[in-house]
Structure 1
C-alpha cells in the first residue's frame, strides 16, 4: 500500500477525530509548562522563498517584502527567466555569493534568518557539504541552517556522526544547525530530541515542523512538541489535512491548532523565527501568478500574527 493510501485509511478509521479530541482537551505534559517560565519570546515572521519556486528568486524576494514580511528564508530552487530550475544557493557556491544574496535581501528590507542545507544527513558527503553551507550562512549573516534526514528510517549512526562533526564548526561560525521533522530518523520531535541529546552540542537544535509530524507519521503534533519544546529554536510553519484530501497546506487551512502548538513557546526568552514553508490552500490548484502567491503569503502571516497576538493578550491578563 502506498504511504498516502495508508494514511488515508487511518484517517477513515477515525484518526483525525482522535487527534482533534486530544487537541481539544489540551494534552500537555509537564515539559511544555516548564518552558513558560522565561521572558516573552521575540517572534520573527519569515517567508521562505520555496512557495515561489516556479518563479525567479528576485520575484520571490520582492513578493515576500510586499506581503509584509521583514524576514526571509532561502528556499531550494527557482525558475530563472529562461524557465530553467536553479538552486537558490548552490551548495558549491563560494561564501561570497551567499553574502551577495544576503545584501540583495537587506537592500529590499528583508533580513535572511534561515537557509536550507538541501543535503540529507545520511549522505556520504553530508559532513563536507554541511560545512560548506555553514560557511555560506556565516558569510550571509544567517543564524540558522535547516537540515533533515531522508523520509525512510535507517542509517541513524550516520545522522548522529554528521551532526557531531558539524556542531563545533557551526558554533564557531555563529550558526545553529536545526534539524526538523521529515520522516525516517527525524520523524517526530521526540526522535529529533533524542538525536540532539546524543549529539550533545549547542550548535545543533530543532526547527519544529508540525505539518510533517501529522503528514508523515499521523502523529499528534500538540502532544509531540511537549516532548521536545526545550530544543525548539524555530518553526517551519505549515498545516496539514487528512480529509477530504491528504495534503499539506498553509496555516489555518488544516487540522493543526496553532494556538495549542505555539503556546508552549510563548515565554522562552529567545528570538524565534516562524518560517512560512507552505502557504497554499488545500483542494484547489496553486496560483499560476506570483501575485496570487503574494496574497497567500500575506494571509498566512496575518493568520499566525493573529494567533500570536491572542496568546500574548491572554498571557498579559491578570491571573
Structure 2
C-alpha cells in the first residue's frame, strides 16, 4: 500500500499482486486460485490523484509541470494550451497533428520531473467533421506516450448520438489495440449527465470506451445534482475531472471542497471497483476571489486540492472500525 500523502496509489490492486507472484515464480494456476477465492470480496479502488496543467494555462507548460510537482503530485493530466514566453497566442500542449514521438518526448519530460501522465485532452468533439480522424491520432499519441486515457466530450448545444455510436464502435477496438481508453465526460447538452453518457457507453459495450465523470459540469450546465446521477453510471466510470461548483452566492465552478458537492458521497459509489481511477484536478480555484496572477498562488491552491482529495480517498478506503 502506498502512502496517500505522496499522491501514490491508495491501494494495491489484484493485478499488482498477481504480477508480484509472477516475479516470484508462482504459477498462473496459483494466481487463478487466489483470484477465485477472493472473487466475491470487493476490491478497493486505486485512486490516482493528479493535477491538470489547465489551471496554469496563463503560464508556460514547464512552469505548470514544476509547480504541480512542487505541490506534491505524482500524477499529471495534460491540459489544452499554455502561454509560452515570447508568443502572443497560447501554444497547444500537444497539437492534434503532432507526431506520436513528440507526445512520447513530453511524457518522458514529465517522468524525468517525477510526474506520471494519466490523461490528455482530445480537443475535438466526437461529432466534428474530423472527429474520428483526430481521435484516432490522439489515441496514437497517448499510446506512444504511455498515457492510459484520452478525454473527449460533446458540444454544449447537444450531440449527434447516432454519429457518436457509429464512431465509438470504430474507436473502441482501435483504442484497445493501442492500450488506451477513450473516456467521455459531461459537457452540457444531450450528454450533460453521467446517466446520458453511460447509456451510450453501454450501448457500444466496448471496454475501450468508458465514462469520465465531471460533477462540476453536471451541476453547472444542467443544474443536476451529481450525487444521484453518479449512481446511474458508476459501473462505467473510469476517471474523474475534479471540479466543484457553487450555485450560491454566485453560480461558479471552484476547487474541490470549496463548493456544494459532497466528495465523500461523490466517490463512494466507485470505492470498491478494483479499478485504477484517476482523479484529475481541473479547477482548483477559490470561489468569489480573483484568479491568481502569480504561479506560486496556483501552487498553493494545487496543494490544497491534493490534500483535500487525499483525505477523502484515504477516509473512504480505510476499513471500517480502523
TM-score normalised by the chain length of structure 1: 0.86
Mapped to 2, the partners of 1:103 and 1:257 lie a distance apart of 36
| Residue segments in structure 2 that go unaligned for 5+ positions in a row | 1-39
Deviation at 1:88, TM superposition (A): 0.5
- Tell me which of 53, 57, 69 is aligned to 2:61: 57
- Tell me which of 74, 77, 81 is aligned to 1:77: 81
- 2:289 is the alignment partner of 1:284: yes
- Tell me which of 107, 113, 120 is aligned to 1:102: 107
| Equivalent residue runs for 1:1-319 within 5 Å | 38-83=42-87, 84-313=89-318, 315-317=319-321
**1:149–1:159 contact (8 Å) kept in structure 2:** no
Mapped to 2, the partners of 1:191 and 1:202 lie a distance apart of 17
**1:37–1:267 contact (8 Å) kept in structure 2:** no
Mapped to 2, the partners of 1:317 and 1:208 lie a distance apart of 30
SS of the equivalent of 1:119 reads coil
Deviation at 1:127, TM superposition (A): 0.2
CA RMSD, Structure 1 to Structure 2 (Å): 1.2
Deviation at 1:234, TM superposition (A): 0.7
> CA separation of 1:81/1:179 partners in 2, compared to 1, >3 Å: closer, same or farther?
same
Mapped to 2, the partners of 1:198 and 1:109 lie a distance apart of 39
TM-score normalised by the chain length of structure 2: 0.86
Structure with larger RCO (C-alpha < 8 A, sep 6+):
1
Listed one character per residue, the Cα deviations across residues 6-33 of structure 1 (whole Å, up to 9, x for unaligned) are xxxxxxxxxxxxxxxxxxxxxxxxxxxx
Mapped to 1, the partners of 2:65 and 2:216 lie a distance apart of 24
Mapped to 2, the partners of 1:162 and 1:79 lie a distance apart of 33
Deviation at 1:37, TM superposition (A): 5.6
> CA separation of 1:288/1:153 partners in 2, compared to 1, >3 Å: closer, same or farther?
same
Mapped to 2, the partners of 1:312 and 1:129 lie a distance apart of 38
Listed one character per residue, the Cα deviations across residues 238-276 of structure 1 (whole Å, up to 9, x for unaligned) are 100011111100001100000111111111111111100
| Residue segments in structure 1 that go unaligned for 5+ positions in a row | 1-35
Deviation at 1:137, TM superposition (A): 0.1
Deviation at 1:48, TM superposition (A): 0.3
* Greater shift in the superposed pair: 81-90 or 40-49: 81-90
Mapped to 1, the partners of 2:41 and 2:124 lie a distance apart of 36
* Greater shift in the superposed pair: 301-310 or 230-239: 301-310
Mapped to 2, the partners of 1:309 and 1:200 lie a distance apart of 32
Question: How many residues align structurally?
Answer: 282
